[in-house]
Amino acid sequence: MKSVAILGASGYSGQETLDRVLAHPGLELVALGSDSLAGSPAGAFDPRLQRLGLPDFTTNDEALAAGADVVFCCLDHERAAGLSCSEQLSRVVVDLSGAHRLADPAAYDEWYGFVHPHPESLAGWSYAVPELSPPTTGLIANPGCYATAVLLALQPLVGAIEPDGVVVDAKSGVSGAGRTLKESSHAGAVLETLTPYRVGTHQHEPEIAQALGFDVCLVPHLLPVRRGLVATCYAVPAADDLRERLEAAYAASAVVTVVPEGAVPELSRVQGTDAAEVGLFADRATGRAIVICAIDNLGKGAAGQAVQNANLALGLEETAGLRLAGVPV
Amino acid sequence: MKSVAILGASGYSGQETLDRVLAHPGLELVALGSDSLAGSPAGAFDPRLQRLGLPDFTTNDEALAAGADVVFCCLDHERAAGLSCSEQLSRVVVDLSGAHRLADPAAYDEWYGFVHPHPESLAGWSYAVPELSPPTTGLIANPGCYATAVLLALQPLVGAIEPDGVVVDAKSGVSGAGRTLKESSHAGAVLETLTPYRVGTHQHEPEIAQALGFDVCLVPHLLPVRRGLVATCYAVPAADDLRERLEAAYAASAVVTVVPEGAVPELSRVQGTDAAEVGLFADRATGRAIVICAIDNLGKGAAGQAVQNANLALGLEETAGLRLAGVPV
Amino acid sequence: MKSVAILGASGYSGQETLDRVLAHPGLELVALGSDSLAGSPAGAFDPRLQRLGLPDFTTNDEALAAGADVVFCCLDHERAAGLSCSEQLSRVVVDLSGAHRLADPAAYDEWYGFVHPHPESLAGWSYAVPELSPPTTGLIANPGCYATAVLLALQPLVGAIEPDGVVVDAKSGVSGAGRTLKESSHAGAVLETLTPYRVGTHQHEPEIAQALGFDVCLVPHLLPVRRGLVATCYAVPAADDLRERLEAAYAASAVVTVVPEGAVPELSRVQGTDAAEVGLFADRATGRAIVICAIDNLGKGAAGQAVQNANLALGLEETAGLRLAGVPV
Amino acid sequence: MKSVAILGASGYSGQETLDRVLAHPGLELVALGSDSLAGSPAGAFDPRLQRLGLPDFTTNDEALAAGADVVFCCLDHERAAGLSCSEQLSRVVVDLSGAHRLADPAAYDEWYGFVHPHPESLAGWSYAVPELSPPTTGLIANPGCYATAVLLALQPLVGAIEPDGVVVDAKSGVSGAGRTLKESSHAGAVLETLTPYRVGTHQHEPEIAQALGFDVCLVPHLLPVRRGLVATCYAVPAADDLRERLEAAYAASAVVTVVPEGAVPELSRVQGTDAAEVGLFADRATGRAIVICAIDNLGKGAAGQAVQNANLALGLEETAGLRLAGVPV
């Protein structure tokens, strides 16, 4: 059994990570960090957890210092950037924030709005989508939710699509914005509507560009749903084997399914799971390729992928602890 | 007072048209057609209408034959195409279906799936967005909901954007799919999810292309909301006065508002109304122009625009009967 | 034209009141109070208002001192209780908060959690549901949203139902909780779920009891909708003319509709309007009477009723400025 | 390994049962019945199932004849009533429909609208809520979703509440109405609204009355959510140990949690799971006891409870195959 600490365990992605860890046959929770809940029982959000004999919440510093084999860091970007993580401290660190995703420190100024406190450390982190670029070190930068969906849709097609003119129109449920109270997450601003936000300025664009090798035009929209993310990607084809490339990329995957020709990826099938669906279409009028990816922003887009990455780094079964079966209602 | 007949008055757009007509100081309802409800009282969907002394539902043929000054045709595409409408029959006919929008009869085979029964008549119809191309005859083809939003966003920019590579990612509430029972409109398939549909094959594309002069890549998505439509349009700018062009186009309009720089169009402000909002953004990474338009698919996207067009054709106040004030919750 | 000031105009009910006032042929806005937005233009929430030449936001004190003929007070309970309102100051004051609804000052300690600062003033206020108890003075305590729905359902039946054992199960959209940020209004806590709250302790119970003459057991639930309220009321019948009593009570009303036997009140028909629907049923197993009332919590449950009350107090047309037509999608 | 056949496997509860069976370490699917899908692959609704080597859909008759150890019958009431099920045919039959829940055949005429074709067989079926009345035979009538929630809330309190005057106000997501297309399940009739239905006439009332020993007044409401059910139950207390009784009833249960005093059951914690939460409150004004139960209508309210019952009948681990961990967003 590998021991696990979770930092930022009171947020959505922290809670989801906890859920996967508790279902994992090879992981054992030893520390649950949350500065706001330190001292509270693990079941603060769910009385059912009281039965399980879990450790109480501690501060994040205490949780980091617990010496766990694996640390899942679910802190905000700037706080995570400030941590001095190292493989000496824990064998595996998976950072779910954006703090270690970009190789270029200057990009943090531009896209995240803060100066990275440890620019020299960035080269030590492995940006990892398990199906496309599995982790190569124990320091793992877990991709952003939008980036995950876009890369699953487009990375297998690099070389077969024109790098210019790629458009990504993305839609996410409100849990993607986290549990913090803000006007844009007030139910009165979310229910029964759809809102574009950070139009043309979302911080997941540079990690997509870094992985694909070219920029895309990314516009995210807030959906009136709790969880789930659909990325609709538009590109000019430069080859005629796009479907074959996608199918080959995921032929061995238990996580990503390429849906049959004519079928659309169904968000409802992946909500509450760590699975992904990808579909490919050709536009009748312009011939453009349309690649659609559906994931759960908290599953494959965050906690599920984090556990999947940790499994690979630890040499465990890749899908241990993941939720892959869905209930399509 | 001008007399009004509504055909297909039992559907969503028929009911919305009825609502505008009842609020209109210059229109008087004389016939309410619905083959399925013929003989029923006008208040079949709303007991409050019982107080108003409205005519009962008749068949659509009877309603058409009532000799009203204005006929609003809310029938399905194929049924509407089969009508022999003429200005002899009524001074003004506004067809809310797609049956008279396309100048090229062959396009009906390709995009609508039926052979147009009156191809020779198509030249007599005026495809009319009041702010961009007001009606020039009494036979008015009211634009589709997606087309309305896209044209409001892009038509003032023709000449200032590259005609190649325009992408339109559109999202609509379920009322856009009508009241007919089908699997895709079952609440279990709509609630808490988002579904792309008719990907790259939606029949509003050719009317957009006809009006803009070039094709676009259009993908519609079904939103888990009752009503409302957002079109996010992506284009390569070919001039630097895009905002000025949009503001000039709508400076005199009481219907369309260009929101200030940095603000996003808010769907909630236009839901339940006949107003529209347009916003313009530049993508940081690629410089692409992003133009977003929000309308109510049943308001500016159907019944509101139909009444607005009828007002123009009849020489009435353009916004009479329209709902323009919103309640932004 | 009567002049109007709105206090607390930045909240949901303030904005809705503004919407009715702007549509009212006999009212003219002269002051718009909001301590947080003082100095901002009236169109802070809606750029379309810029065209109308409205006064800027001022502080609430300034708005109160503007000497308007009518003051709509949309402040929170405790702030409103602290105002020294009088008919000397303005001819009509409509308080949409709970600060002047209860005749017994001690009830404020128990149900609202504060000591009423002006207990002697309470007797001067008229608790007014226009259809049941129209205002008798210019100081009008506008009923709570839940109380409005419950009184419309039950007050005509007093004497025909047993006063013991009345249960009210009520459900409201999130706008009933106001625009303030709190965990329970975060979209992640509201979407795709239903939450009972203030179970057995909601502050609208005492005003219901005061009007009916007996206590009820009231449990409110938060619905995943923006606006709208349904109260399902259960009572043991003590007469057999319940339907006749309801129909008689609202026979002359343009606001309240008793739906036909077998039909249910439809929330979607009253959302966005100031109308109400009431339906009556008998339980097959127990014979209990079930009376259901649907209103819009911000319409008949707040701003619409406030304007209706002001109309009565000013001698204007009762429904002037109200939204009574609905669009049932 | 016990072999399993599912009848009516194309409906919501059939699909959910399949999901539990696939996750169950002691069950093996051998037949998947659906008259409409016979001949189609098991993955008709979910392409991910293609990988699992499942049997194709057959007719329901063929699936019943497959001689499985356990049959889950997810057919409609009347079709299920017509089956000649027996323990000779299969060791365990769990009927998720209402066809075998009521001991009194005449009740089928009144509440279900059909004459029961096998009235003599009803005595052989065991109406089973595992925590309250575990199955005593292999023929198991799985309780209705509303009945499950109401019995979990009230059955432990029988003797401690007055049998007269119990009111149950229940709210369910749309999946409770099944996959069949009907006007009331059209998304336009469900989204952003709440609708009472079968007011005072719902067919789950008699099974509740049969289990409790007295009638209740039951009103169901359709929620704008996909899945999940909340029953708010009102009763006059006849003892002061209600909380103790509830806690004692579920002290040993891994499925039902009594939430702490002051806390409300949270639907979001049980959605997508087979767990239940129960909360108890006292009404301040009337002293009435309010007992609230939250379940997933397709989980504990259908498929989860069916598998739980089958586990008990087969002597397997009670919670094998169940989903009990939740993700509270």
List pLDDT tens digits, range B310-328: 999 999 999 999 999 866 5
Q: Which residues of A touch C (CB under 8 A)?
A: 12, 173-175, 179, 181-183, 185-192, 224-226
**Mean pLDDT across D133-156:** 97
Specify the pLDDT at position D146: 98
Query: Token pair of D73, please?
Result: 């019958």
**Residue C295: is its pLDDT beyond 90?**
yes
**A contacts of C226 (beta carbons < 8 Å):** 187-188, 191-192
Specify the pLDDT at position B325: 81
**A contacts of C174 (beta carbons < 8 Å):** 187-188, 191
Task: State the chains in contact with A (3 or more Cβ–Cβ pairs under 8 Å).
Answer: B, C, D
- Eight-state DSSP code of residue D143: P
Specify the pLDDT at position A48: 85
**Residue A138: is its pLDDT beyond 60?**
yes
8 Å CB contact of A185 and C187? yes
| Range of lowest pLDDT (A116-130, D78-92, D284-298) | D78-92
Query: Token pair of D210, please?
Result: 């049969």
- Non-local (6+) Cβ contacts of B286 within 8 A are A215, A216, A217
**D contacts of A254 (beta carbons < 8 Å):** 51
8 Å CB contact of A48 and D191? no
Coil, strand or helix: which one is B118? Answer: coil
Coil, strand or helix: which one is B145? Answer: helix
**B contacts of A230 (beta carbons < 8 Å):** 194, 196, 221
**Residue C328: is its pLDDT beyond 60?**
no
Q: Do residues B192 and C192 make contact, with C-beta atoms less than 8 angstroms apart? A: yes
**Residue A312: is its pLDDT beyond 60?**
yes
Specify the pLDDT at position A157: 98
Q: Chain D residue closest to C236 (CA)?
A: D165
**Sign of the C-alpha dihedral, residues B285, B291, B297, B302?**
negative
Query: Which strands sit side by side in the sheet containing C195-196, from one edge to the other?
Result: C195-196, C217-222, C167-172, C229-235, C289-295, C276-282, C256-258
Mutate to test the interface with C, among D197, D283, D297 (most CBs of C within 10 A): D283
Mutate to test the interface with A, among B199, B242, B269, B280 (most CBs of A within 10 A): B199
**Mean pLDDT across B264-281:** 96
Which one from B73, B85, B145, B233 is the annotated catalytic residue? B145
Specify the pLDDT at position D325: 81
8 Å CB contact of D186 and B186? yes
8 Å CB contact of B181 and D181? yes
Alpha-carbon gap, residue B178 to B175, rounded angstroms: 5
Coil, strand or helix: which one is C63? Answer: helix
Specify the pLDDT at position C128: 98
- Non-local (6+) Cβ contacts of A151 within 8 A are A129, A132, A143, A208, A211, A212
**A contacts of B230 (beta carbons < 8 Å):** 194, 196, 221
**Residue D37: is its pLDDT beyond 60?**
yes
Neighbours of A72 (CB within 10 A): 32
Q: Chain D residue closest to C204 (CA)?
A: D285
Query: CA of B295: how far to CAs of A20, A120, B198, in Å?
Result: 41, 49, 21
- Non-local (6+) Cβ contacts of B204 within 8 A are B98, B144, B145, B146, B147, B150, B218, B220
Q: Is D126 exposed, middle or buried (0-12, 13-18, 19+ CB in 10 A)?
A: middle
Question: Across-strand partners of A118?
Answer: none
**Sign of the C-alpha dihedral, residues D246, D252, D258, D259?**
positive
Instruction: List the single residue in B286, B292, B329 with the smallest CB-CB distance to A196.
Output: B292
Compute the nearest-CA separation of B277 from chain A (Å): 13
pLDDT bucket at D300, cuts 50 / 70 / 90: very high
**Mean pLDDT across A14-26:** 96
Specify the pLDDT at position A14: 97
Which one from C74, C145, C233, C293 is the annotated catalytic residue? C145
pLDDT of C168-183, one tens digit each? 999 999 999 999 999 9
8 Å CB contact of B216 and A286? yes
8 Å CB contact of D284 and C200? yes
Instruction: List the single residue in A48, A227, A259 with the smallest CB-CB distance to D47.
Output: A259
Compute the nearest-CA separation of B288 from chain A (Å): 7
Strand ranges for chain A from DSSP E: 2-7, 27-33, 57-58, 70-73, 92-95, 126-127, 139-141, 167-172, 195-196, 217-222, 229-235, 256-258, 276-282, 289-295
**Mean pLDDT across A188-196:** 97
**Residue B33: is its pLDDT beyond 80?**
yes
Alpha-carbon gap, residue B154 to B157, rounded angstroms: 5
8 Å CB contact of D266 and C226? no
* CB half-sphere exposure, D271, CA atoms < 13 A: 27
pLDDT bucket at B51, cuts 50 / 70 / 90: confident
ipTM of this predicted structure: 0.97
pLDDT bucket at C83, cuts 50 / 70 / 90: confident
Query: Token pair of C327, please?
Result: 């669009």
pLDDT of A34-81, one tens digit each? 999 999 999 888 888 888 899 999 999 999 999 999 999 999 999 999
Alpha-carbon gap, residue D118 to D108, rounded angstroms: 11
- Non-local (6+) Cβ contacts of B130 within 8 A are B255, B305, B308, B309, B312, B318
Coil, strand or helix: which one is B191? Answer: coil
Q: Chain B residue closest to C226 (CA)?
A: B329
pLDDT of C23-63, one tens digit each? 999 999 999 999 999 999 998 888 888 888 999 999 999 99
Q: Do residues B265 and B295 make contact, with C-beta atoms less than 8 angstroms apart? A: no
Coil, strand or helix: which one is C182? Answer: coil
8 Å CB contact of A328 and D16? no
Alpha-carbon gap, residue A180 to A135, rounded angstroms: 30
Question: Across-strand partners of C144?
Answer: none
Alpha-carbon gap, residue A44 to A40, rounded angstroms: 7
**B contacts of C16 (beta carbons < 8 Å):** 327, 329
Q: Which CB contacts under 8 angstroms, 24+ apart, belong to D73-78?
A: D73/D7, D73/D8, D73/D97, D74/D6, D74/D7, D74/D8, D74/D9, D74/D11, D74/D13, D74/D14, D74/D17, D75/D7, D75/D8, D76/D8, D77/D112, D77/D114, D78/D112, D78/D114
Query: Which strands sit side by side in the sheet containing B229-235, from one edge to the other?
Result: B195-196, B217-222, B167-172, B229-235, B289-295, B276-282, B256-258
8 Å CB contact of C272 and B272? yes
8 Å CB contact of B326 and C46? yes
State how beta strands A229-235 and A167-172 pair. Answer: antiparallel
Compute the nearest-CA separation of A48 from chain D (Å): 7
pLDDT of A260-280, one tens digit each? 999 999 999 999 999 999 999
Catalytic residues of A: 145
> At residue C202, what is the residue type?
H
8 Å CB contact of B267 and A230? no
Q: Do residues B271 and A193 make contact, with C-beta atoms less than 8 angstroms apart? A: yes
**Residue A87: is its pLDDT beyond 80?**
no
Specify the pLDDT at position D229: 98
Alpha-carbon gap, residue D323 to B264, rounded angstroms: 41
**Mean pLDDT across D192-217:** 98
Instruction: List the single residue in A175, A186, A190 with the smallest CB-CB distance to C181.
Output: A186
Percent of chain A with pLDDT over 70: 97
Specify the pLDDT at position C84: 73
Mutate to test the interface with A, among C36, C226, C268 (most CBs of A within 10 A): C226
Q: Chain A residue closest to D252 (CA)?
A: A51
Query: Token pair of B25, please?
Result: 């100081």
Q: What is the dihedral of CA D175, D218, D223, C291, to 10 degrees?
A: 150
**Residue A225: is its pLDDT beyond 90?**
yes
Compute the nearest-CA separation of A266 from chain D (Å): 9
Q: Do residues A206 and B289 make contact, with C-beta atoms less than 8 angstroms apart? A: no
**C contacts of A228 (beta carbons < 8 Å):** none
pLDDT bucket at B297, cuts 50 / 70 / 90: very high
State how beta strands A195-196 and A217-222 pair. Answer: antiparallel
Instruction: List the single residue in B15, B260, B275 with the smallest CB-CB distance to C327.
Output: B15
Alpha-carbon gap, residue A65 to A71, rounded angstroms: 10
> What string of DSSP letters covers C195-229?
EE-STTT-TTHHHHHHHHSS--EEEEEE-SSSS-E
Catalytic residues of D: 145
Q: Do residues B292 and B232 make contact, with C-beta atoms less than 8 angstroms apart? A: yes
Alpha-carbon gap, residue C153 to A30, rounded angstroms: 56
User: pTM of whole model > 0.95?
Assistant: yes
8 Å CB contact of C47 and B260? yes
Which residue has better confidence, C286 or D327? C286
8 Å CB contact of A224 and C174? no
8 Å CB contact of A47 and D327? no
Specify the pLDDT at position A227: 96
Average pLDDT, chain B: 95
Q: Where are the alpha helices (DSSP H) in chain A?
A: 12-22, 60-64, 77-82, 106-107, 145-154, 187-190, 205-212, 242-250, 267-270, 304-314
> At residue A68, what is the residue type?
A
Reported as type and span, the H/E element at residue D304 is: helix D304-314
Query: Which strands sit side by side in the sheet containing A217-222, from one edge to the other?
Result: A195-196, A217-222, A167-172, A229-235, A289-295, A276-282, A256-258
Q: How many Cβ pairs closer than 8 A exist between chain A and B?
A: 155
Residue bearing tokens 């493989």: A87
Task: State the chains in contact with D (3 or more Cβ–Cβ pairs under 8 Å).
Answer: A, B, C
Reported as type and span, the H/E element at residue C282 is: strand C276-282
Name the nearest CA neighbour of D13 among D92, D74, D101, D73: D74
Q: Chain A residue closest to B264 (CA)?
A: A196
pLDDT of C229-285, one tens digit each? 999 999 999 999 999 999 999 999 999 999 999 999 999 999 999 999 999 999 999
Query: Token pair of D104, please?
Result: 């009194």
* CB half-sphere exposure, A70, CA atoms < 13 A: 28
Alpha-carbon gap, residue C172 to C151, rounded angstroms: 16
Q: Do residues B264 and A199 make contact, with C-beta atoms less than 8 angstroms apart? A: yes
* Annotated catalytic residue C145: yes
Compute the nearest-CA separation of A226 from chain C (Å): 6
Q: Chain D residue closest to C263 (CA)?
A: D197
Percent of chain B with pLDDT over 90: 93
8 Å CB contact of A290 and B329? no
Reported as type and span, the H/E element at residue B92 is: strand B92-95
**A contacts of D327 (beta carbons < 8 Å):** 15-16, 19, 272, 298
Q: Chain B residue closest to C263 (CA)?
A: B47
Average pLDDT, chain C: 95
Instruction: List the single residue in A46, A51, A260 with the smallest CB-CB distance to D328.
Output: A46
